[in-house]
Amino acid sequence: MKSNFVLFGLLAIAAVTFAEEATPKKNELSETGTAILEKLRELRKNQESLIAKIEDDNDRELIINLFKTELAADADETEKDTARVKRGAPRWLANRRANRRRFARRLRRNQRRAAQKRRAHARRHQRNLRRAARKIRRIQRRG
């Protein structure tokens, strides 16, 4: 029983350490990535300052709406590209299912065999007890 607890504890420790290793670290940009991000931020600020310089409110609203629709269109295109293509179940899933069925069949067969062994052992034991009792009775009758 103690060995089961020790084994379970070791498995738990191994699982925790594996989970810590598997956690993804924060995505940190490389130097070129940070430089590009800074340039994009500068462009965004430049764009906002240019829009703020427009004096006509109607023109300003039209330009802002155009930028919003362009951003939405770009977002829609990226969403269409990431659409999942449905296919049949992968081959390894079918193999896993077959392995599970094979394992269950083998398990049932082994359980039946173990039950037959238990019954045979019990029968043999009872037969030996009856034989021993007959022998004792025979000895007692003789003498």
pTM, to two decimals: 0.33
Burial class (CB in 10 A: 0-12, 13-18, 19+), 126: exposed
Higher pLDDT, 9 or 46: 46
C-alpha span between 112 and 117 (Å, rounded): 9
Residue ranges per structural domain of the chain? 117-143
- Hunting for tokens 């296919």 — which residue is that? 87
* Other Cβ atoms within 10 Å of 63 Cβ, number: 15
Please report the pLDDT score of residue 132 as a whole number: 98
Q: Which two tokens stand for residue 30?
A: 């490389």
Q: Which band of pLDDT confidence, cut at 50, 70 and 90, is reported for residue 21? A: low
Please report the pLDDT score of residue 22 as a whole number: 59
Q: Which band of pLDDT confidence, cut at 50, 70 and 90, is reported for residue 143? A: confident
Q: What sign does the CA torsion over 8, 11, 16, 19 have?
A: negative
Q: What is the pLDDT of residues 24-54, one digit of tens each?
A: 556 677 888 888 989 989 988 888 888 888 8
